[in-house]
Amino acid sequence: MYDDPDLVARTILELTRKTDDDHHWRIDASMINASDIELDGTRGRLVVRRWADEEPRHLVLLAHGYGEHSGRYEHVARALAEAGAAVYAPDHLGHGRSEGEQASIHDLSDVVHDLALVHARARESHSDLPLVLIGHSMGGIIATLFVQTQDVPVNALVLSGPVVGGNPQLIGLLELDPIPEVPIDPAMLSRDPAVGAAYAEDPLVYHGAFRRETLQAFAAAVEQIASGPDFGDLPVLWIHGEEDPLAPLDVTRPVVERLARGEQVQYVVYPGARHEVFNETNRDEVIEVVTTFIDSVLASGLSRRA
């Protein structure tokens, strides 16, 4: 088996996705080209994972959350690529395999600028494709600020458990000195225990206490989002876990409702789900909602202003 790269890829994919027997679709790994690139970011080298269908019809920029890395979205990116996307997903500054002190961000504007650099690099190969932004958790902040501050036409935005309204308990840690050594509890992420176990064992995930400078950057970014413009007519899909402890639903909903006011806006809150809906027990349903939304937006021709 190990002499057959396609068979190895398909076997790994099948094991890591923990598929059930009632899937609506399956991914043919042999159809997807996966590779890494590196580029100079705002404060050091960035590692960017990319996946592409043989003939992509749209471009996706995927922004991951705090303390993790883009490799945790392999199953999402491959599904998106199978649905016709070229997916570019950077490890943010201080995350994964990119440079910087681990999980340390002083200004989220640096990460937004890095995402713009990734976009520019992607355009070298995909100059005319419609652009979709997907941001999870901290990545939801990054994607929101990208829309608010970058002069880049965006065709659709997907926000997954975005911390755009902040988290009073986490921001409250700034009142403590020192901040206690309390890392993210893997059980907060998903009802699937395998997700928490994989997270806890992942060497590219940061498992330490929250960085003070990063929490301060979060607080400043939440204020910037609150005072910034809404999304205009941008099509938006917001997906969220009802029991999300890291991006509490009650503080997130008002912010999303203010920002997303266009004609093509969809909210989906999953009962009982926790923070990582892309890794929840109904992950295939969630991903299908995302691909269906993207298809409907691109078919309609709706786009945000440049």
Residue pair 251/164 in contact (Cβ under 8 Å)? The answer is no
Take residue 250 and report the two structure tokens written for it.
């009650």
Taking the CB of residue 132, how many other CB atoms lie within 10 A of it? 25
Q: Exposed, middle or buried by CB within 10 Å (0-12, 13-18, 19+), for 9?
A: middle
Which whole-number Å values give the CA distances from 137 to 44, 166, 201, 247, 275, in the listed order?
23, 10, 20, 7, 8
Q: Exposed, middle or buried by CB within 10 Å (0-12, 13-18, 19+), for 54?
A: exposed
Which whole-number Å values give the CA distances from 184 to 151, 187, 200, 259, in the listed order?
34, 9, 10, 28
Q: Which is nearest to 68 in space by CA: 145, 134, 120, 139?
A: 139
Start-end of H helices in 172-211: 193-201
- For the annotated catalytic residues, the residue numbers are 137, 244, 275
Residue 136 DSSP SS3: strand
Take residue 98 and report the two structure tokens written for it.
């990119």
Classify the phi-psi angles of 18: left when phi > 0, otherwise alpha if psi is within -120 to 50, otherwise beta.
left
Q: Which is nearest to 62 in space by CA: 75, 16, 211?
A: 75
Which whole-number Å values give the CA distances from 110 to 3, 94, 115, in the listed order?
43, 11, 9
Could you say which DSSP state residue 279 is in?
G
